[in-house]
A and B are shown apart, each in its own frame.
Chain A
Amino acid sequence: MSDTTTSEPTSEPTSGPATGTDARSRTGEDQPLVRALNVLKSFHGNEVLKGIDLDVHRGEVVCLLGPSGSGKTTFLRCINQLEEIDGGRIWVDGDLVGFRDDGGQLHHLTDKQVATQRREIGMVFQRFNLFPHMTALQNVMEAPVQVRRVGKKQARARALELLEQVGLGDKPNAYPAQLSGGQQQRVAIARALAMDPKLMLFDEPTSALDPELVGEVLRVMRELADQGMTMIVVTHEMGFARDVADHVVFMDGGVVVEQGKPKDVISNPQHERTQSFLKRMRAEDDEAAADAESLETPDA
């Protein structure tokens, strides 16, 4: 195993600029915000996650990379229980996700307890999943009012603030169908932030967008990272991963193949599978760039 590759969950800490914490001990308050140990998940006998280990520390941005079908989405969905894991354990902020451990015997949590755990985790979907029958403002206010029982007035003020933060202060009354993809995704980010989550999960937040709209969403995510939000981001945006991530995880075939600092994993991958994936990504990027160029200079 190379030095950037490790399956040991308590790997060398990364020096996240947001947190500024360099060292951490295995004991004490600096436990990881998310710890996944040997996470297993199958769909009808098809083993999709084959023992994922991952630690995410407070304020860290972790980017998950990997080819299609490698299980990135499934892993994210397991963290906030949209899928139930078959094996292993996930903890978020010290709480076991989905189960109650009673002296070694696990018990399923009730629907209510599951909902309580999910409140603390924001999720942004590839296809936005905004509520189409509500305006941008109503989308953002919905969960604080219904779930946290925040007063309407207060929720509204906070929602307007969040819409401002994602650059949509002028569109509170627009319905999702009246917004561009990039705008919709930014509303979706504001909606997730409205619950004041400890952790934000992003599942390819820009891959359903037209290329010219990707930047505005990544900018919002960058700002969020700068503010110290803990984020797990599944993405194919190598530039974002290189610049923003504190830690990059490369998955393939349901296992973590390689992980480490972005400059190590992206610029100097050790594992052959990582190398070929990144080469493919680069080729695609070049192609896209070439396409964009040919669009900019149409022959008369």
Chain B
Amino acid sequence: MTTPTTDDRPGLIEARPVRHPGRWVALAVIIVLVAMLISSFITNERWGFSKALEIMNQKPVLEGLWKGTIVGTIGSMAIGIVGGVIIAILRLSHNPVLRGVSFVYTWFFRGIPRLVLLAMIGSGVGFLYANLDFGIPFGKQLASLMGLSSDFTFFTLDVNQFSSSLLAGIIGLGLSEAAYMAEIARAGILSVDKGQNEAAAALGMNRGQSMRRIVLPQAMRVIVPPTGNETIAMVKDTSLLSAIPIITELFYQTRAIGTRTLQIMPSFVAVTAWYLLVGSVLMVGQYFLERRFGRGFGTGAPNKRFARPAGAGGA
């Protein structure tokens, strides 16, 4: 082997990049396909984009978007995430009764379709329990046993009225979501090294503190990405609220307008556009959340580890 002398020390590198002819071919094919699609948008009147834009901005549609889709998603995901974390913690508890409760919950709510669940909440529950009394368990029976006039009921809920409200729908979707979130949260909690729990315990932290301060923040790194997917799925599942039936709901309203005005295709375009828009906003939000919970897990700036938002290039 010969070692170069100090006289001919190599300088800056000016190497030719590797060529990727395949990329250019793919690009050409895609350009042709997109051009064909755009041309069909322009030439085929039946798409009705301007009509679609009109429908998107109609008041009932906007109301359905706000109440059904946006409020519905936020509400049900809030219930789903909090409920899911609680169920996951129960599932990992040392108490066999709590573990059992968590298992049965997940088994039930994962087992039934959301459409069926919502339809059941909408009509079935009100039929079974016309009024819900909040008081002491078995208060009525106790009162009659003891011959008291009070029946230990503090307030009464009219279930028939409640069960067709948006809140009932949100609770229904939230309860169902909690079952899925529980699995995600459980995977997240289990992904945290058990040395973390031990270090927290050795410092004198109790199990709650260790979970809240040490384990869950780290589990978030694993929990956030699939939760983003769940949220986007929930945006779409709010269209099931019409099963309750709740009619201030995006898909119900657009379709109603479409049928009434015979603008079927534009109404589909309108609703698709709204769902895509909401989904895109969520993807950007997810990107920032992932960055936030990735703190301390890269050696450099935390954001380097994470991919660009999935929607950034395509939307």
Min CB distance A273 to B, Å, is: 30
Are B297 and A177 touching (Cβ within 8 A)?
yes
Complex CA distance for A231 and B285, rounded to whole angstroms: 49
What residues of B have a CB within 8 angstroms of the CB of A121 in the complex?
202
Min CB distance A122 to B, Å, is: 7
Closest to B207 in A: A111
What residues of A have a CB within 8 angstroms of the CB of B195 in the complex?
125, 127, 129
* Chain A count of residues within 8 A CB distance of the other chain: 32
Are B203 and A195 touching (Cβ within 8 A)?
yes
Interface bits B277-309 vs A (CB < 8 Å: 1, else 0): 000000000000000010111110000000000
Are B299 and A178 touching (Cβ within 8 A)?
yes
Complex CA distance for A119 and B203, rounded to whole angstroms: 6
Are A111 and B203 touching (Cβ within 8 A)?
no
What residues of B have a CB within 8 angstroms of the CB of A82 in the complex?
198, 201-202
What residues of A have a CB within 8 angstroms of the CB of B298 in the complex?
177
Whether B209 sits at the interface, judged by CB under 8 Å, is yes
Partner of B202, one of A80, A130, A135, A146: A80
Among B203, B214, B217, B299, the most chain A Cβ lie within 10 Å of the Cβ of B203
* Chain B count of residues within 8 A CB distance of the other chain: 24
Are A147 and B204 touching (Cβ within 8 A)?
yes
What residues of A have a CB within 8 angstroms of the CB of B299 in the complex?
177-178
Complex CA distance for A230 and B128, rounded to whole angstroms: 68
Are B204 and A131 touching (Cβ within 8 A)?
no
Are A142 and B217 touching (Cβ within 8 A)?
no
Whether B246 sits at the interface, judged by CB under 8 Å, is no
Among A119, A134, A146, the most chain B Cβ lie within 10 Å of the Cβ of A146
Complex CA distance for A80 and B198, rounded to whole angstroms: 10
Interface residues of A in 117-143 (CB under 8 A from B): 118-119, 121-123, 125, 127, 129-135, 142-143
Whether A58 sits at the interface, judged by CB under 8 Å, is no
Are A143 and B296 touching (Cβ within 8 A)?
no
Are A118 and B213 touching (Cβ within 8 A)?
no
Partner of A129, one of B198, B206, B297: B198
Interface residues of A in 73-129 (CB under 8 A from B): 80, 82, 111-112, 115-116, 118-119, 121-123, 125, 127, 129
Min CB distance A76 to B, Å, is: 10
Interface residues of B in 200-238 (CB under 8 A from A): 200-207, 209, 213-214, 217-218
What residues of B have a CB within 8 angstroms of the CB of A116 in the complex?
204
What residues of A have a CB within 8 angstroms of the CB of B207 in the complex?
111
Are A192 and B203 touching (Cβ within 8 A)?
yes
Whether A240 sits at the interface, judged by CB under 8 Å, is no
Are B204 and A112 touching (Cβ within 8 A)?
no
Min CB distance B115 to A, Å, is: 40
Are B204 and A195 touching (Cβ within 8 A)?
yes
Are A118 and B199 touching (Cβ within 8 A)?
no
Whether A175 sits at the interface, judged by CB under 8 Å, is yes
Interface bits A130-165 vs B (CB < 8 Å: 1, else 0): 111111000000110011000000000000000000
Whether A186 sits at the interface, judged by CB under 8 Å, is no
Whether A181 sits at the interface, judged by CB under 8 Å, is no
Complex CA distance for A127 and B295, rounded to whole angstroms: 20
Whether B40 sits at the interface, judged by CB under 8 Å, is no
Whether A191 sits at the interface, judged by CB under 8 Å, is yes
Min CB distance A272 to B, Å, is: 36
Complex CA distance for A70 and B268, rounded to whole angstroms: 71
Min CB distance A59 to B, Å, is: 22
A82-B202, A195-B204 known; 9 other A-B pairs, CB under 8 Å?
A80-B202, A82-B198, A116-B204, A118-B201, A118-B203, A123-B199, A125-B199, A133-B295, A192-B203
**10 A-B contact pairs sorted by A residue (CB < 8 Å):** A82-B201, A118-B201, A118-B202, A118-B204, A119-B204, A133-B217, A146-B205, A146-B213, A147-B203, A191-B203
